[in-house]
Amino acid sequence: MSQTDLSKYDNRWYKPGNIISRALWYLVNATFFKSSFPFCSVKVFLLKMFGAKIGSGVIIKPSVNIKYPWLLEIGDHTWIGERAWIDNLAQVKIGKNVCLSQGAMLLTGNHNYKRITFDLTVSAITLADGVWIGAKSIVCPGVSCGSHAVLAVGSVATSDLLEYSIYSGNPAQKIKDRTIE
């Protein structure tokens, strides 16, 4: 039976941006985002400076971690809660009026556990308009959440979420339709 051999791991193919941009972003992220720095307008300005596409009225709470802003798009009036982690090794598109609650994670990267070399795999995430990702929930690589879908607290989305549907559990399963009055 074969075994994983991490000495053979090679992700040289993955080029998320030049080394200077990544180093500068690391410092900015640690200083202004992962900290308790409170001013959203400064955070939005910094994200835009690093290539993110950010709409108007976006709220970014303290202690948020964003991997690569140049792979991030956020629509108007979206909220990013405390301790949210956008681990965007691939493109992340977040629509308008989305709520990414406290401690939620968007994970675009994984590893191929079937390969001895444990190869890195990446796949984009899309959160359509009106999506709500509950506190401490996880959206896995390649998942698209349809318009106004809800992922309940502590749930894990491993496959696409249908629009106007509420999901819960690990893996998340549809539990009911979402109606908005």
CATH of the domain at 133: 2.160.10.10
- Look at residue 3 and tell me if it is in a domain: no
Q: What is the pLDDT of residue 37?
A: 93
**Distance (Å, whole) CA 124 – CA 89:** 8
- Look at residue 113 and tell me if it is in a domain: yes
pTM assigned to the model: 0.96
**Distance (Å, whole) CA 102 – CA 110:** 22
- Look at residue 8 and tell me if it is in a domain: no
Task: Give the percent of the chain with pLDDT over 70.
Answer: 100
- Look at residue 82 and tell me if it is in a domain: yes
Number of domains in the chain: 1
What's the rounded mean pLDDT across residues 140-167? 98
3 residue type, one letter:
Q
Which residues lie below 8 Å from residue 71, measured CB to CB, with a gap of 6+? 16, 88, 89, 90, 91, 92
DSSP 8-state assignment for residue 136: T
Q: Which helix (H) or strand (E) holds 175?
A: strand 172-177
- Look at residue 67 and tell me if it is in a domain: yes
**Distance (Å, whole) CA 64 – CA 84:** 5
113, 91, 87, 88: which is closest to 5 by C-alpha?
Answer: 113
Q: What is the pLDDT of residue 1?
A: 82
- Look at residue 4 and tell me if it is in a domain: no
pLDDT tens by residue, 99-138: 999 999 999 999 999 999 999 999 999 999 999 999 999 9
Under 8 Å between Cβ of 98 and 132: yes
By residue count, the chain amounts to 181
- Look at residue 5 and tell me if it is in a domain: no
Which residue segment(s) compose the domain that 74 sits in?
17-173
Neighbours of 26 (CB within 10 A): 11
Q: What is the DSSP string of 76-118?
A: TT-EE-TT-EEE-SS-EEE-TT-EE-TT-EEE-EEE-TTSTT-
pLDDT tens by residue, 115-124: 999 999 999 9
What's the rounded mean pLDDT across residues 21-26? 97
- Look at residue 34 and tell me if it is in a domain: yes
